[in-house]
């Protein structure tokens, strides 16, 4: 059972949260909302901190965000859940360290799931020994973390990630690991023809996050020499993987491998943001059409606002078609960033996925394979001279 502190002026929300917390909830008025954690905690009649703070942000969202940020900085052992306009609050909530944002009309089961998920995450943080905490990426990174991102599904993230990882593994056998962070519907195992004994949920819930030997025994090995962390077998298992565990895993992998390649789910969900905290090289992928370009513009703007868009980024356009009515310059004007690589459509990509053999191995002379080699050349060529400058790949 988790201890919950709720701030709200809504009797209905108070009733639902009380039921969701099974009675282990103390409610106080949300107006006026204190500006400091100590002022809020003064309402408690005991010394123990709440596991979860539920802030009703429907009336004063800016004040709620500011208070949440103070909790994240001063009392990281308490997880914060914001209640309000999910679309409007999501980005500022991410920046403030909020664990979850839920709608004001969410039912009891949904509230309970959120509270339990956040409580589990903070309990894990509290129980972690002091010397095993998530160390700042700048202090641990030895290898490069290449994260493939796209605002929409169907853009070809898995194709890019698997072929990039395979190509890097050919140049540096035993020094590359691929992580499938699409925890609900990841296809890396299918694309590589693998039947993993261990998947992502097994890895993060065991000793692998603190023991390099345990970690390597739970990686799936591909014939190319590539190591792989495959996605969970079902969505329910994927939901047990927390952003904190993702960060700890990538932090550990980056000390053991020269390259860590990360495939992600569409959009910027919490696990993807955790991966971006450890990413040295974001690969921003979009389809070559108006919806894809507009989605990429929003994603780039969000990453800039969050301070997660490094100078080493690469912008890649997939399914390019000169007859589609758009030019590369049109897309660049829309996304307000230079396009580094264009990849055409090829039926060979689908065929390679169907047989479980990456395109670089299945059809090495295909036009898509040739373009992917350009991306590989960039990463292999810059591995020995890592800089913060931006290197353009010929389109």
CA atoms within 13 A on the CB side of 182: 22
Beta strands in 111-236 (DSSP E): 144-149, 176-180, 220-221, 227-229
4-127 shares its CATH topology with 137-383: yes
Question: Quick one: fold of 137-383?
Answer: Rossmann fold (3.40.50)
- Answer whether CATH 3.40.50.2300 is correct for domain 4-127: yes
pLDDT at 85: 92
Among 139-143, 287-291, 383-387, 391-395, the range of highest mean pLDDT: 287-291
- Calculate what percentage of the chain has a pLDDT beyond 90: 52
pTM of the model: 0.66
Average pLDDT of 323-351? 89
d(CA 381, CA 390): 13
The domain limits of the chain are 4-127, 137-383
Interaxial angle between packed helices 61-74 and 86-96, expressed in degrees from 0 to 180 and rounded to the nearest 10: 30
Pairing label, strands 79-83, 220-221: unpaired
Give 384: exposed, middle or buried? Use CB within 10 Å, 0-12, 13-18, 19+: exposed
- Among 33-37, 76-80, 119-123, name the one with the lowest average pLDDT: 119-123
User: How far apart are the C-alpha atoms of 16 and 21, rounded to whole Å?
Assistant: 9
**Residue 116, both tokens:** 């339990």
Q: If we measure between CA atoms, which residue out of 284, 363, 294, 274 comes closest to residue 318?
A: 284
Average pLDDT over residues 126-149: 57
Chain segment 172-203, per-residue pLDDT in tens? 888 999 999 999 999 999 999 999 999 999 99
Buried b (16+ CB within 10 A) or exposed e, 295-327: bbbebbebbeebebbeebbbbbbbbbeeeeebe
pLDDT for res 383: 57
| Of 346, 340, 213, 198, nearest in space to 281 by CA | 340
């Amino acid at each position: 059972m988790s201890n919950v502190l709720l701030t709200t002026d809504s009797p209905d929300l108070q009733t639902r949260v009380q039921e969701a917390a099974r009675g282990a909830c103390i409610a106080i008025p949300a107006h006026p909302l204190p500006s400091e954690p100590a002022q809020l905690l003064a309402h408690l009649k005991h010394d123990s901190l709440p596991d979860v703070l539920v802030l009703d942000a429907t009336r004063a969202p800016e004040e709620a965000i500011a208070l949440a940020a103070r909790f994240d900085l001063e009392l990281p052992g308490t997880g914060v859940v914001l209640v309000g306009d999910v679309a409007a609050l999501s980005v500022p909530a991410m920046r403030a360290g909020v664990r979850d944002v839920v709608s004001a009309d969410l039912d009891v089961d949904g509230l309970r799931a959120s509270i339990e998920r956040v409580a589990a995450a903070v309990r894990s943080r509290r129980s972690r020994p002091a010397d095993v905490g998530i160390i700042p990426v700048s202090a641990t990174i030895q290898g490069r973390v290449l994260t493939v991102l796209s605002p929409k599904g169907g853009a070809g993230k898995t194709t890019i990630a698997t072929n990039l990882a395979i190509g890097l593994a050919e140049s540096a056998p035993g020094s590359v690991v691929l992580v499938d962070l699409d925890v609900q519907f990841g296809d890396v195992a299918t694309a590589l023809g693998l039947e993993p004994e261990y998947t992502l949920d097994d890895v993060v819930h065991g000793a692998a996050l603190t023991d390099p030997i345990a970690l390597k025994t739970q990686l799936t090995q591909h014939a190319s020499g590539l190591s792989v962390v495959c996605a969970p077998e079902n969505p329910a298992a994927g939901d047990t993987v927390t952003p904190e565990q993702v960060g700890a895993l990538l932090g550990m992998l980056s000390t053991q491998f020269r390259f860590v390649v990360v495939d992600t789910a569409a959009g910027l969900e919490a696990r993807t943001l955790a991966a971006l905290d450890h990413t040295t090289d974001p690969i921003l992928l979009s389809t070559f059409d108006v919806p894809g370009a507009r989605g990429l513009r929003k994603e780039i703007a969000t990453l800039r606002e969050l301070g997660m868009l490094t100078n080493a980024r690469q912008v890649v356009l997939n399914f390019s078609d000169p007859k589609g009515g758009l030019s590369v310059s049109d897309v660049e004007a829309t996304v307000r960033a230079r396009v580094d690589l264009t990849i055409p459509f090829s039926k060979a990509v689908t065929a390679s996925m169907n047989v479980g053999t990456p395109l670089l191995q299945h059809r090495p002379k295909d036009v898509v394979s040739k373009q992917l080699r350009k991306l590989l050349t960039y990463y292999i060529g810059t591995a020995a001279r890592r800089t913060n400058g931006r290197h353009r790949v010929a389109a």
